Amino acid sequence: MQAGLIAVALSGALLTATAHLADKRRLRRTTPDRVGFMPWPALSMIGIAMALVGTALAILAG
């Protein structure tokens, strides 16, 4: 049980890092007319929530 929750927390952290890097890349694009369709800031917040909840539940399951 605890290993699965740790995997959720790590997945959330990985999603947060990926979304942050993608949003940083989006903000520095050279052609502003090429807009994307991914909501990178929202995905970053979802990843942070996954990491926090997964960590908290893993500690409680401890």
Per-residue pLDDT of 15-42, as tens digits, reads: 999 999 999 999 999 998 888 889 999 9
Extract the tokens encoding 3.
């290993």
**Greatest alpha-carbon span in the chain:** 50
Owner of token pair 């942050």? 20
Whats the size of the chain, residue-wise?
62
Burial grade of 47 (CB within 10 A; 0-12, 13-18, 19 or more): buried
- This prediction's pTM: 0.88
Q: What is the pLDDT of residue 21?
A: 97
Report the C-alpha gap between 44 and 38 in whole angstroms.
11
Structure tokens belonging to residue 37: 């369709």
